[in-house]
Structure 1
Amino acid sequence: MISFEKRIPSLFINGEWREAETGKTVSVNNPATMDVLTEVSYGDAGDTEAAVQAAEQAFPSWSGMTGRERATILYKAYQLLEEEADRIARILTMEQGKPYKEAIGEVHSASSFLLWYAEEASRLYGEWIPSSKKNKRLYVIPQAVGVIGAITPWNFPASMITRKLGPALAAGCTVVLKPASATPLTAIEIIKVLERAGVPKGVVNLVTGNTKAIGETLLQSNSVRLITFTGSTEVGKYLMRESAQHVKKLSLELGGHAPIIVFEDANLEQAAEMTLASKFRNSGQTCICANRLYVQRPVVEAFMEKLTAKASMLKLGNGMEDGTDLGPLIDEAAKKKVIDQLKDATSKGAKVACGGKEWEGALDGNFYPATILTDVTDDMHVMYEETFGPLLPVQVFDEESDVIQKANDSEYGLAAYFFTKNLDRSIRVSEKLEYGIIGVNDVIPATAEAPFGGVKQSGVGKEGGHQGIHEYVEWKYVSMGIEE
């Protein structure tokens, strides 16, 4: 077990670790045991302003480096993060709650973004435009946006950081990072990795603490040119409104309400295993996890028998213990939302196929078992509100056209999944689903080399792939007149 000092300076500004200006701290808890792990600095507006100033001063020299020079540092950070993966994964589990086997996978995912964008730093190509006039030459130059304000969530406290910092640093931007208040320790470790890799002073800055004050300072600063955020749609809308005052660029990965469809020709064993993996990974606390399950009528009985049997076997417990499948929910409010949605559904006629009772284990954390509902109707909250917990509603469908209409009937458009062995259906349904990410016989689509992002109220912009680095550049057009 990893032990922490009683108090950790958690602000990293201009290459120095420091306390908050006010001297305030806040505790970080283990959600499985409710024990206090340590206290970290509680930064405020003044600390954020100092971080922005440091990032602004560092920008000219960092953006002036060659892509290959920045790539060398990012590649070193990738190597160091891989070397530190086990220790950082344990810290992640202790402050976030997810099972260690998921945490170690996340840390490796986090390092993959550093590797990918180390490679992309040297591939940020411009464009030569054939001119319609003989006395002109036209070309487009990609240039770093400037200072970036990055706000990351608690559910993936490692990979969400590198998915933003990787492309931002590769493009030549400097960054002020605000991690989630519940999970600052993972962020501290990643910044230490970047520091050891040789990132110059001021290029990456970390401010933990007062979410409102830090966020408003980033929004109001003329020096911050882009806000990148992963979190709720409600907060995303707030950022859009406030950023309009300075016409900031935005990259937003917001809420989701992913449908998962099992067609009658699917491999039912595979579909059951993957549905389980999608819905109950991180105890359902993922933006792309399955939130609504639709099963075609001819196979519903056979499929549900497999799914409920597997779900009933999932083990709740401390993520540091071997064999744990589901850790705790992040806090009491998250658990209450699951219970409220369950009560609403059962009061309207839904039946509990498995789970549905509060855990009676020895730990004090906010645990809830994998729960599956049948006889679900569209007026139940669980069918149109993002759950962010281990509660899965199931509906039966008959026709392909009907289930596509149901799947698309949402304000969200982040991810959708379906299972089929029919090639024509694979193409047809993929094209008709109104989502930014589609998984066909696959529920783990996120990878560094592919673009990740939603449509409708699930956000704007892409993270990952060669598209991801484009969020952090401006395209400068140059028209040059020459003598013939």
Structure 2
Amino acid sequence: MQQFENIIAGKRVGAASGKWIPSLDPFRNEDWCQIPDSDEADVDRAVQAAKAAFASAEWGGLTATARGALLRKFGDLVGVHAQRLAELEVRDNGKLMTEMLLQLRYIPQWFYYYAGLADKIEGGVLPIDKADHLVYTTWEPLGVVAAITAWNSPLLLLTWKLAPGLAAGNTFVVKPSEFASASTVAFAELFDEAGFPPGVVNVVCGTGPAVGEPLVRHRDVAKIAFTGSDNAGRLINRAAADDFKHTTLELGGKSPNIVFEDADLDAAAAGVASGIFAAGGQTCMAGSRLLLQRSVYEKFLDKICALATDIKLGDPMDPKTQMGPMANIAHYRKVLNCIADAEAEGARLALGGEAHHAAGEGLFVKPTIFRDVKNESQLAQREIFGPVLAVIPFDDESHALELANASNYGLGAGIWTTDIKRIFRLTKKLQAGTVWVNTYRALSFMAPFGGIKHSGLGRESGQEMMKAYLQPKTVWINNSDKTPENPFVMRLS
């Protein structure tokens, strides 16, 4: 069984306790590797390493241009090792190799993009209203950042944090999910090969209570960048408030995919299927609520059921497989319990609704569709994070908008229509951080991503994300030889 160690101050080390946690291959339903069962002692050691690196001449003394050069080199290395890193992710969380390899080949673009931005963040000289004063602003890194990632796309989610944060000059302590840590450790090992100083990027594996909580509360952590559930995000935000730490929280979703009668129904059906069944629905942006206009309700429902029926479940390494297993046993049970709860609540099952055993011993759940769902039901309001679609009928545009916005979440939304005026009306009024029109689940390093309401705080990706890892400083220089007339009065003139 393989062992993946922590990375602290550039060295591979086990947990101080000497304990290990097994990691499950969800397709084979068997343990395949071990990660350190770390605790607060390991966290403190990693934070101190990151703090020392931040203050060092080797990192803190680098120009922004030099940091950009390191990021470009790291991006090149990720491309070289994409196949191996993708295979590790598939073993750890059951995602499709076809998708993970595409992700790993695209991830370098984030590092190239922020490498280019590293020396483009400029302060400025202010045309101040005070005679004989020169006033200018600069942007400075925050310090040590805690990056806490989820198990569904560990390296993509980590990249969203590392690329802008490192370009800005910060250092990191990474806490990956205990259900999928192997790829993160292998990914972080490449920073040494790229020439980053020891301690700039550290990884501490372990559970949330033993590692995540002390990391969030550590006095020397300046910012927390987290991806996960809204419940965990709420706890992190409260803990961060005690020390006034900066936060970026990318949380859950219950995103509506809205299909109007004038849409290209075949394209919409493919988009809806992608939105909920791709990655087994284990994505924060999953289009888990299908809002469907009554005039095409039965016709479209037949289409989406036919598509879902033909989805091939199986070995995620097989390029013919279209949907893999649930990522871990706890989540597999949660999804099945949510389906049982929906049926107990009176939801009408149109397809699936049970475990799938034909693919072997893996943690598979059949693509599941509930019809005629009430938007106020638990099924329509609760993030299931699995291949479960709630189909909700609507009458007209205003009704669709009302249903779409009636949720605690606001991460994404999809619109399927050929009416350009409707597109502009709805994109303005939908309460979501991202709106996809006649497409779904598209991402870019150039485009901000994040949500409102319970879907989080802040954004990831895009130019403005750099400033989420920086803080402004204002400098006042008095060029006058005069002594203030009254030193006890604020300088307002």
Normalising by structure 1, report the TM-score: 0.96
Gaps of 5+ in 1: 1-5
Is the Cα–Cα contact under 8 Å of residues 179 and 328 in structure 2 kept in the other structure? no
| 1:269 corresponds to | 266
Deviation sequence 1:308-328 (CA, Å, 0-9, x none): 111111011120123111111
**CA separation of 1:361/1:200 partners in 2, compared to 1, >3 Å: closer, same or farther?**
same
State the alpha-carbon separation in 2 of the partners of residues 99 and 320 from structure 1. Answer: 6
| 2:47 corresponds to | 52
Deviation sequence 1:121-176 (CA, Å, 0-9, x none): 12222233222234223222110000111100000111011111111110000000
What code does the residue aligned with 1:140 have?
A: T
2:24 matched to 1:23?
no
The alignment partner of 2:107 has SS state of: helix
**CA separation of 1:377/1:93 partners in 2, compared to 1, >3 Å: closer, same or farther?**
same
| 1:259 corresponds to | 256
State the alpha-carbon separation in 1 of the partners of residues 362 and 125 from structure 2. Answer: 58
Q: Would you say how many aligned residue pairs link Structure 1 and Structure 2?
A: 479
Q: Bigger CA drift: 40-49 or 172-181?
A: 40-49
| 1:243 corresponds to | 240
The alignment partner of 1:471 has SS state of: helix
Normalising by structure 2, report the TM-score: 0.94
State the alpha-carbon separation in 1 of the partners of residues 2 and 342 from structure 2. Answer: 44
| 1:82 corresponds to | 79
> 1:366 deviation in Å?
1.4
| 1:288 corresponds to | 285
What code does the residue aligned with 1:460 have?
A: L
| 1:372 corresponds to | 369
> 1:52 deviation in Å?
0.6
Query: Which of residues 3, 12, 26 is equivalent to 2:7?
Result: 12
> 1:305 deviation in Å?
2.3
Q: Bigger CA drift: 353-362 or 73-82?
A: 353-362
Query: Which of residues 293, 296, 299 is equivalent to 1:299?
Result: 296
**CA separation of 1:186/1:370 partners in 2, compared to 1, >3 Å: closer, same or farther?**
same
> 1:49 deviation in Å?
0.6
**CA separation of 1:400/1:469 partners in 2, compared to 1, >3 Å: closer, same or farther?**
same
Q: Bigger CA drift: 312-321 or 109-118?
A: 109-118
2:354 matched to 1:357?
yes
| 2:109 corresponds to | 112
State the alpha-carbon separation in 2 of the partners of residues 269 and 402 from structure 1. Answer: 23
> 1:75 deviation in Å?
0.5
> 1:74 deviation in Å?
0.7
State the alpha-carbon separation in 2 of the partners of residues 344 and 52 from structure 1. Answer: 42
| 2:486 corresponds to | none
Is the Cα–Cα contact under 8 Å of residues 9 and 18 in structure 1 kept in the other structure? no
The alignment partner of 2:222 has SS state of: strand
> 1:307 deviation in Å?
1.4
What code does the residue aligned with 2:73 have?
A: K
| 2:38 corresponds to | 43
The alignment partner of 2:288 has SS state of: strand
Query: Which of residues 162, 166, 171 is equivalent to 2:168?
Result: 171
> 1:109 deviation in Å?
3.6
What code does the residue aligned with 1:53 have?
A: Q
State the alpha-carbon separation in 2 of the partners of residues 201 and 293 from structure 1. Answer: 48
What code does the residue aligned with 1:84 have?
A: H
> 1:102 deviation in Å?
1.4
Is the Cα–Cα contact under 8 Å of residues 345 and 376 in structure 1 kept in the other structure? no
> 1:344 deviation in Å?
3.3
2:217 matched to 1:216?
no
Deviation sequence 1:93-131 (CA, Å, 0-9, x none): 111101111111222343222122111112222233222
**CA separation of 1:347/1:50 partners in 2, compared to 1, >3 Å: closer, same or farther?**
closer
Deviation sequence 1:322-358 (CA, Å, 0-9, x none): 3111111122332333333333333444332222232
Deviation sequence 1:14-41 (CA, Å, 0-9, x none): 1111111111111111011112212222
Is the Cα–Cα contact under 8 Å of residues 248 and 457 in structure 2 kept in the other structure? yes
> 1:423 deviation in Å?
1.3
Is the Cα–Cα contact under 8 Å of residues 164 and 466 in structure 2 kept in the other structure? yes
Is the Cα–Cα contact under 8 Å of residues 377 and 395 in structure 1 kept in the other structure? yes
Deviation sequence 1:248-302 (CA, Å, 0-9, x none): 1111111111011011111111111111111111100000110100111222233
> Once the two structures are aligned, what percentage of the paired residues are identical?
36
2:234 matched to 1:233?
no
Is the Cα–Cα contact under 8 Å of residues 29 and 37 in structure 1 kept in the other structure? yes
| 2:466 corresponds to | 469
Gaps of 5+ in 2: 482-493
State the alpha-carbon separation in 2 of the partners of residues 446 and 147 from structure 1. Answer: 27
Q: Bigger CA drift: 331-340 or 18-27?
A: 331-340
What code does the residue aligned with 2:293 have?
A: Q
Is the Cα–Cα contact under 8 Å of residues 110 and 163 in structure 1 kept in the other structure? no
State the alpha-carbon separation in 1 of the partners of residues 147 and 355 from structure 2. Answer: 36
Deviation sequence 1:40-94 (CA, Å, 0-9, x none): 2222111111111111111023233111101111101111111111121111111
The alignment partner of 2:70 has SS state of: helix
State the alpha-carbon separation in 2 of the partners of residues 129 and 229 from structure 1. Answer: 35
State the alpha-carbon separation in 2 of the partners of residues 235 and 165 from structure 1. Answer: 21
**CA separation of 1:362/1:254 partners in 2, compared to 1, >3 Å: closer, same or farther?**
closer
